[in-house]
Amino acid sequence: MNALAGKTAIVTGASSGIGRATAKLLAREGARLVVTARRAPALDDLVAEIARAGGEAVAIAGDIRDEGLAAALVDTAVRRFGGLDIAFNNAGTLGEMASVPDLTTEGWRDTIDTNLTAAFLGARCQVPAMIERGGGSLVFTSSFVGHTVGFPGLAAYAAAKAGLVGLVQVLAAEFGAAGVRANAILPGGTDTPMAAAMIDTPESRAFIEGLFALKRMATPEEIARSVLHLASDAASFVTGTAFLVDGGVSINRT
């Protein structure tokens, strides 16, 4: 039996990378999906791919910072599929990369809004729907950056991703008695379009890969499997965690 049979999930940032891989995996495991990102054509391709594989998904394109989008995603899950069980709040951006004295206020705010405030807006709508369902699983994409490692030039990104861990802890404490679990995955470097913005030469890739105990980066599918675990009943007693899926980069000194 599929791990998520009869479940409904929201996936943000689903047009590429970790979000897309996770949406496909959750659908293969039986979940019905509401997916979102800014690029409508990429979302339409994803929905069509899921349908060809026998799954069911609906797409709503928009800006994750929009409060109206957060509400629309939940409303669609309830209206179209009868409720909400899982939310993977994954959308994010590297944002403006600069040392702290050179980082603009606008760049700081945009990164915080996209990576942290949008997750709060999503959770604010998702939690009541999950309580109506008798419980559910919230999963957020944080990062080892800002948790165990500080990379120069990523102050806003690190602060936002660290903030997600704090948000997860409070959500877990507030709604655990209602059956709602909240966890964050902390991926290491992953072969995604976002990573390509930082790793644009063979030399930079070799340097990044060398930081990991496994001496390689992750595939999006590997990260997706960690989300599936936290979303499923296999993690029924797991909540409030910062779940490192980082190939050992946080502990490696070799």
Residues belonging to the active site: 157
**Strand order across the beta sheet in which 32-36 lies:** 57-59, 32-36, 8-12, 86-89, 136-141, 180-187, 242-245
User: Nearest-CA neighbor of 87 among 231, 206, 235?
Assistant: 231
At position 174, the amino acid (one-letter code) is E
* β-strand pairing of 242-245 with 180-187: parallel
CB 30 within 8 A of CB 3: yes
User: Nearest-CA neighbor of 88 among 232, 236, 238, 247?
Assistant: 232
Residue 82 tokens read as 């009868």
User: Nearest-CA neighbor of 198 among 112, 125, 93, 118?
Assistant: 93
C-alpha gyration radius of the chain: 17
What distance in Å separates the CA atoms of residue 82 and residue 60, rounded to the nearest whole number? 17
Backbone angles phi, psi at 138, to 5 degrees: -100, 130
The 8-class DSSP code of residue 100 comes to G
